[in-house]
Amino acid sequence: MHTASADHPQEGRAQEKGEVWRAFRVAAFVIALVAGLGLTAKALYVPIKAEVAQVMLDHAFDQSLASGQAVKPWSWADTAPMARISVERLGVSEVVLSGGSGEAMAFGPTALLDDSASRITVLAAHRDTHFDFVRDLKVGDVVRMQRIDGREAYFRVRALQTVRWDQFGVPSDHDTGLLALTTCYPFDTHEPGPLRRVAWAERIDSG
C-alpha cells in the first residue's frame, strides 16, 4: 500500500507546508498574546503600585499627624510623608513625600523645593498616576495643604503653563507664597519628553 504522499508527492509537500504555516501562525499568535499580556501587565504595574502605596502613605500620614513626627510608610523607605494636598472640586487627595528622588516619586508626589524663606513649594509627580488630575485643574481651583505638624495652608490656582524642563522659572511677583504642581506633558503618552505642565497657585487666607 502506498501513502497518499508517495502517490502524490506534490500534494504531500503542499500538505506539509500547510501544516508548517499553521503551526507558525499558532506560535506567532501565542507569542503576540504573551507579549501583549506582558505589556498590559507592565502598563498596569505603575498605577496599581501607586494606588497600593497611597493606602500605606495615608496610614503613615495619619500616624505622622498624630505624633507630629515623620513616620515611614514601610520600614525600608528612604522617605516619609510631609504633607497631604487635596482639591475638593476634583475629589483629589494625595500624600506628599519628602525629598525629590525619582524612586520616591514612584509612590507619590515629592517635594522638589520646600523653602520657607522664599515661601515657595514645588511638588512633582507622574502624569499617569498621582498628578493625572493636573490636566483637569482650572484657574480658581483651591489646593489645600495639610502638614504633619497640623499646619494648613490654602492656595488658589492662578496660572497654568507648559514649559521645557530646563526653562522652568519661579515667578518673582509673589507676596503671600506660591505652590507649584509639576508633571510631564503631554498627558496622553508614556514617552519621555522635555515638556512640563505647571500649575501655579498663590496662597490665600482660607479655602
Q: Tens digits of per-residue pLDDT, 39-63?
A: 333 444 455 656 677 788 888 989 9
Nearest CA-CA partner of 84 in 108, 103, 66, 106? 108
Task: Choose the weakest-confidence range: 70-74, 139-143, 156-160.
Answer: 70-74
Please state the separation of Cα 170 from the chain's center in Å. 23
Report the predicted TM-score, pTM, of the whole model to 2 decimal places: 0.72
Nearest CA-CA partner of 181 in 139, 125, 120, 136? 125
Q: Which domains does the chain show, CATH number per domain? A: 45-204 (2.40.260.10)
Please state the separation of Cα 30 from the chain's center in Å. 31
